[in-house]
Structure 1
Amino acid sequence: MKAVVLCGGKGTRLGLTDRPKAMVPVAGRPLLERLVEDVRDAGFTDIVLLTGHLAEVIEAHFGDGSAFGVRIAHVREGEPLGTAGAVRDARHLLTEPFLVLYGDTLLDVDLARMAAFHAEHGGLGTLFVHPNDHPHDSDLLVADADHRIRRFLPKPHPDGAILPNLVSAALYVLDPAAIDAVPADGASDWGRDIFPAIVAAGGRLNAYRSVEYVKDIGTPARLAKGEADLASGRVARLSHRHAKPALFLDRDGVLNVEINGVHRAQDLELMPDAGNAVRRANAAGIPVICVTNQPDIAKGFLTEETLGEVMAALDTGLAAAGAYLDDIFVCPHHPERGWPGEVAALKIDCDCRKPKPGMLLAAAERHHLDLSRSWLIGDRHADIAAAHAAGARAVLLRTGHAGTDAGNRRADPDHVAATLTDAVAFVMKAMGQ
């Protein structure tokens, strides 16, 4: 598989005059050099550099790539063609699925794993996606439980809109057939023009959700943040190469007010301290993952689409405080039959419904988590049991059900807290944060 790097940007906002944006120094080394080595270390040795402004600087630095242990082909655009147009002009070099990286991103991602995900799920492309702390001014997307992207929500967003917090990080695996969706002439952009058109036409694009580090550093503030994250070890720590602790959170009674089932987005009410508590973990670089039983889907009280709207309301409430959930795992099952309109296929005794540990184990597999250093905060003894069954520790909250499900009591919690704020403070201290 070849790796294509878009590196035609000027770097005007970075104040660059003698080099293109991709060659901006990051902690003393050109960013593009870091990207080339990241790609090489992931096992991809054929690289296509799509250049434009001051292309000769890149060509002189990298040559044919032999000095870096790779083979490099340079394709220089005569006029700005946009991210998709530039790839279109390299179509003759791209006969198999290929990686696309943007030259102004700092990253540490298991690229081979992402490529394997694309091979497993098929389609015209796979996009690396994650939440951020400013979804209100970001281009967003909606993906289903099968990782298929269903909609793109471009900015600007209407005031007061309920928005899912999921954005493309400008890192893709594309099938060559995706290039057929690019207009034959002129400039076009993958995110703004081509991907929405593919989805609208019924084509499959996949969302690859990860906690790994991918950030653009196209402004002085973002560059400074990236260098600080490198220096602190945050970039490497979040990589899939390393096992890392996570903070698991139950939903009802922990993040939002317990009302015996939230069936409409407008009925979700965030706990008063949820945003600030989650933001504290976000700031520490600890993945925050929601694990929630939603048996009302099996009972027929709400659909997966409606649940998505409810979760978007949760995202929107957290985003107002600059907070986000790195991932969400839902158990839609229920073992007992007898509800009118129930979904028979979901009425099973599954491995993911708490007090079983399936959601935590799935999260650990997806994100390479060290469950022995992870914590779960919940309001039921079923949460405590699930955490302990997965090898994690747990805090019981005195909110929501406050541990009244005595029938699920199989072990005592490792800590009891009055509020989510208190619980997160305790967990952060236990994690050395």
Structure 2
Amino acid sequence: MQAVILAGGFGTRLRPVVPDLPKALAKIGSRPFLKYQLAWLASYGTREVILCLGYRSQAVLSYLSEVNTEGIQVISSIEQEPLGTAGALKHAEHLLAERFLVVNGDTFVDVNLTALVEYHYRKVSFLTMVLANVEDATAYGQVKINNEGRVVSFQEKVPGRGQVNAGVYFMEKSVLRYIPPDQPYSMERELLPKLLTRGELVYGFVHEGYFIDIGTPLNYRRAQEELPGRFM
């Protein structure tokens, strides 16, 4: 399985506690966050990762040149200008297989990837997104699915418990035809709603296990307590 890690963002929300590093290199315990993601992907047999970089890409490349990447071949796709989550995928299109996994560079979701891929094939899905249950969906926006698991709507800034986009996707490469080239484009705000509007089969795979977004100081501190003992 080929995987893509979207790690090109500026990490603005995290600057108060990680002022001088890209989020991929933010230390969780003694290891950069990227190391946790690579180890998790390797545990499911991933052998190739396309790493989409932007902000401080050279720092990430320098780190990768010095460490064990868990047996994974890491290929970098570097954007010269910020392209957003979907724009980064389009920029890396020439490197991508016919279907692939996508992981946000600031989230750790201990989802069963074997089950996710099997679900995608069973549903004949165009794009399958992992959903996580959270106590307060305000910061994420809720994702509504029907009884068959098909995504029917996105609701932004709805307080209270709900299912949210966990930042992990398995998709067909043909999804990329909906992304305009060479311009910023958002997976969450633009691409996913467009797929629903066009009637494409987008399914939600509900994950009941561990999920954390390290992109805020509060969650970054929580990750320090939880991730090292849980996965590495």
Q: So what's the TM-score if we normalise by structure 1? A: 0.50
> 1 or 2, which has the higher strand percentage?
2
Larger radius of gyration: 1
Matched residue type, 1:169: A
Q: 2:134 aligns to what SS in structure 1? A: coil
C-alpha distance in 1 between matches for 2:141 and 2:19? 29
Residue ranges of structure 1 left out of the alignment (5+ in a row): 237-433
Query: How do residues 23-422 of structure 1 correspond to structure 2 at under 5 angstroms?
Result: 23-63=25-65, 67-155=69-157, 157=158, 165-230=162-227, 235=230
Query: In the TM superposition, what is the alpha-carbon distance from 1:164 to its structure 2 partner?
Result: 7.7
For residues 137 and 59 of structure 1, do their structure 2 counterparts lie closer, same or farther at Cα, with a shift above 3 Å needed?
closer
For residues 186 and 210 of structure 1, do their structure 2 counterparts lie closer, same or farther at Cα, with a shift above 3 Å needed?
same
Residue ranges of structure 2 left out of the alignment (5+ in a row): none
Query: In the TM superposition, what is the alpha-carbon distance from 1:66 to its structure 2 partner?
Result: 6.6
Q: 2:153 aligns to what SS in structure 1? A: strand
Query: In the TM superposition, what is the alpha-carbon distance from 1:65 to its structure 2 partner?
Result: 8.0
Matched residue type, 1:68: E
Q: 2:130 aligns to what SS in structure 1? A: strand
1:330 corresponding residue in structure 2: none
Q: Among the aligned pairs, what percent are the same residue?
A: 28
Query: In the TM superposition, what is the alpha-carbon distance from 1:34 to its structure 2 partner?
Result: 1.0
Residues 221-265 of structure 1: per-residue CA shift (max 9 Å, x gap): 10111222236x5x56xxxxxxxxxxxxxxxxxxxxxxxxxxxxx
What number of residue pairs does the alignment pair up? 229
Matched residue type, 2:163: L
Query: In the TM superposition, what is the alpha-carbon distance from 1:145 to its structure 2 partner?
Result: 1.3
Residues 33-65 of structure 1: per-residue CA shift (max 9 Å, x gap): 111111111111110000011101111111398
Residues 100-159 of structure 1: per-residue CA shift (max 9 Å, x gap): 11111133222222122212212211110022111245311211111111111223x5xx
Matched residue type, 2:224: E
Matched residue type, 1:7: A
C-alpha distance in 2 between matches for 1:98 and 1:64? 27
C-alpha distance in 2 between matches for 1:79 and 1:60? 20
Q: 1:191 aligns to what SS in structure 2? A: helix
Query: In the TM superposition, what is the alpha-carbon distance from 1:200 to its structure 2 partner?
Result: 1.1
C-alpha distance in 2 between matches for 1:62 and 1:196? 35
Answer yes or no: is the 8 Å Cα contact 2:35–2:69 preserved in 1. Answer: no
For residues 33 and 39 of structure 1, do their structure 2 counterparts lie closer, same or farther at Cα, with a shift above 3 Å needed?
same
Matched residue type, 2:27: P
Answer yes or no: is the 8 Å Cα contact 1:43–1:112 preserved in 2. Answer: no
The root-mean-square deviation of aligned C-alpha atoms, in Å, is 2.1
Greater relative contact order (CA < 8 Å, ≥ 6 in sequence) = 2
C-alpha distance in 2 between matches for 1:137 and 1:49? 26
C-alpha distance in 1 between matches for 2:142 and 2:189? 11
C-alpha distance in 2 between matches for 1:17 and 1:230? 21
Please state if 1:10 is matched with 2:4. no
Answer yes or no: is the 8 Å Cα contact 1:65–1:72 preserved in 2. Answer: no
1:243 corresponding residue in structure 2: none
For residues 62 and 81 of structure 1, do their structure 2 counterparts lie closer, same or farther at Cα, with a shift above 3 Å needed?
same
C-alpha distance in 2 between matches for 1:146 and 1:46? 32
Matched residue type, 2:165: S
